[in-house]
Amino acid sequence: MHDPHVLIIGGGTGGLFTGALLAKEGFRVTVLEKNREAGGGLQCFERYGETFETGMHTLGGFEAGGSLDRICRYLGIRERLRLRADDCLASIRYLSDDCQYRLPKGRAAFADYLCGLFPAEAPGIRAYVDELYRLADEVDLFYLRESGDAIPSHSEQFLWAADRLIAHFAADPKLRDVLAFLNPLYSGQAGHSPAYLHALINVLYIDGPCRFVDGSRQLANALADVIRSAGGTVDTANGATAIEMADREVTGVRSADGQTHRADVYISAVHPCTLLRLLPPEAFTRAYRQRLESIPDTYSAFTVFAVLRPGCFPYLDHTCYYQDQYGLAWRHGEAPGPRWPRGFMYFTPPVSGQDPYARKLIVNCVMPFSEVAQWAGTHVPGRRGPAYEAWKQARLEQVLERMETLHPGFGRYVAHAFAASPLTIRDYYATRAGALFGYRKDCTQPALSYLPVRTKVRNLLLTGQNVNLHGICGVPLTAITTAEALTGRNHILRKLNQSGNEPAHIC
């Protein structure tokens, strides 16, 4: 009997975590990745002598005993990761009253800080924080607990809209806005984003935000090494071009180099709409195809990367958020108006031997894909035409102007600045409409965006951010669910919980 062979399409965060978990279980894993470097959201690139992360900048779950800490220890890669803990949860500055909130990390400190600022709201704030943790506790997988029920039951609040949850506990409009500040990390939309999603993201970061030292590709490389050291392959610059099927089963995957790869099981770790383009039309029923096409996506982003002159701009030990005024927290996804940008997040990625000054800075501004729709037919970076380049340069300058307002003199510290648009995200990750986090979760239609890891094609599974949750909060957890579809329910969780590794520490 040969080791079962699994072929994974997409060597991003989800494909690599799923591949590493299965490699550890004795599966022979082949990962096909279209880009020259594996990692997807974990991938980095070099420009002007600096390494920049493409996605996955702000991490959670790596504190001792956190979900990511435990998964990485289980995979034997935790000690390889160089992480730096943030000094607080985040800071948020509002230009309208020039007020800056410096939210501490830790459940009690977070609640105490807000109670101190809004004493009249103290009982509601404490009840709200308790509710966040109660909602997070409803998700067994978030705490890597084995789960008994295939379809778990949840409280009514679980599927409230996140803005309703906040409004239930907080009356002050300023407080309501501050409590929604992490919206850009889950594409928050009033009336649509579920309370559980808001709770999971908040709890993850309240418990301990951190970031990679020298870039996120170290995690991609460590996961790829787990696959390779078990005899598997991570094949880069060799994307899947077509999936062959017979009798409602996948029989092979053709790749860019002209080869056909055959395996026992196939896992798609790409956006489901990208998967649809690889499959013959008859693979799924028309209704299922239409469903996959009709699930709305999360919003996209415009990112500015800056190389800073040495010894000028301080290293920021946390993520900074800014908004023009209160009340914008739920409006980030709107089409840009004349005063764009009205809010964004920025941070200075740490390097080895980080000194008090930053070497680089990244600004992420939420942006809907409609902003670049007129150039949607272009697919080669650098060859999208002069009108696009002029638009991009103008947006870049608007972001730098706002940084100048936030940090007078900032322009003088910038040696080089360049930008990526929603088109960059779309073409780089092959994600529809440059969606930051794939499919959008919607509490008004919870069943629509719920995708099981199993598909109607018997030997084709799904993994990645479109199934379940996105980001570092969710993709590694879905990888466990996908891997357990092959190993047996709770099999990996049980082993992970019994492995009893000593917690590692973040420097």
Ligand X SMILES: Cc1cc2nc3c(=O)[nH]c(=O)nc-3n(C[C@H](O)[C@H](O)[C@H](O)COP(=O)(O)OP(=O)(O)OC[C@H]3O[C@@H](n4cnc5c(N)ncnc54)[C@H](O)[C@@H]3O)c2cc1C
Q: Are 130 and 110 in contact (CB under 8 A)?
A: no
Q: Which of 135, 223, 270, 279 binds ligand X (CB under 6 A)?
A: 270
Q: Does the protein bind ligand X through residue 12 (CB under 6 A)?
A: yes
x/- string (CB under 6 A) for ligand X, residues 299-328? --x-x-------------------------
Residue pair 360/348 in contact (Cβ under 8 Å)? The answer is: yes
User: From the CB of 27, what's the least distance to ligand X, in Å?
Assistant: 18
Least distance from ligand X to the Cβ atom of residue 433, Å? 12
- Applying CB under 6 A, does 449 fall inside the site for ligand X? no
Task: Report if residue 9 touches ligand X, rule: CB under 6 A.
Answer: yes
Q: Which of 166, 265, 430, 486 binds ligand X (CB under 6 A)?
A: 430
Distances (CA, A) of 418 to 55, 304, 367, 371, 397: 16, 6, 17, 18, 10
The distance of closest approach from Cβ of residue 15 to ligand X in the complex, given in angstroms and rounded to an integer, is 6
Burial environment of residue 300 by CB neighbours within 10 A (0 to 12, 13 to 18, 19 or more): buried
* Residue 215 within binding range of ligand X, rule CB under 6 A: no
Distances (CA, A) of 110 to 32, 221, 317, 340, 341: 43, 34, 17, 30, 28
* Closest C-alpha among 391, 470, 378 to residue 14: 470
SS3 252: strand
With beta carbons less than 8 A apart as the criterion, state whether 371 and 308 touch: no
CB contact set of 41 (below 8 Å; sequence gap of 6+): 12, 13, 54, 55, 56, 216, 429, 471
Helix or strand run (H / E) with residue 498? helix 491-498
Tell whether residue 426 is a contact of ligand X (CB under 6 A).
Answer: no
Q: Which stretch binds ligand X (CB under 6 A): 67-75, 268-276, 283-291, 486-494?
A: 268-276
φ, ψ of residue 249 in degrees (nearest 5):
-130, 145
Stretch that binds ligand X, among 75-83, 95-103, 225-233, 466-474 (CB under 6 A): 466-474
Contact call for residue 57 and ligand X (CB under 6 A): yes
Spatial distance between the Cα atoms of 447 and 441, rounded to a whole number of angstroms: 9
Q: Does 187 bind ligand X (CB under 6 A)?
A: no
Neighbours of 351 (CB within 10 A): 17
The reply on whether position 365 binds ligand X by CB under 6 A is: no
Among 77, 245, 475, 486, binds ligand X (CB under 6 A): 475
On the 0-12 / 13-18 / 19+ scale of CB atoms within 10 A, 27 is: buried
Using the rule CB under 6 A, which residue among 183, 187, 268, 274 binds ligand X?
274
Among 25, 33, 86, 131, binds ligand X (CB under 6 A): 33
Smaller CB separation from ligand X, 29 or 170: 29
For ligand X, how many residues bind (rule: CB under 6 A)? 36
* Euclidean distance between CA atoms 439 and 294, whole angstroms: 10
| C-beta separation of 329 from 198 below 8 A | no
Closest approach, Cβ 478 to ligand X, in A, equals: 8
HSE-CB for 230 with a 13 A CA cutoff = 25
114/492 with CB nearer ligand X: 492
Which span (103-111, 163-171, 288-296, 469-477) binds ligand X, by CB under 6 A?
Answer: 469-477
Q: What is residue 60's three-state secondary structure? A: coil
Q: Write each residue from 219 to 258 as x if it is in contact with ligand X (CB under 6 A), else as -, in one continuous string.
A: --------------------xx------------------
CB of 282 to ligand X, least distance (A): 20
Residue 436 touches ligand X, criterion: CB under 6 A: yes
- Which residues form the interface with ligand X (CB under 6 A)? 9-15, 32-35, 40-41, 55-58, 239-240, 269-270, 274, 301, 303, 425, 429-430, 436-437, 464-465, 470-473, 475
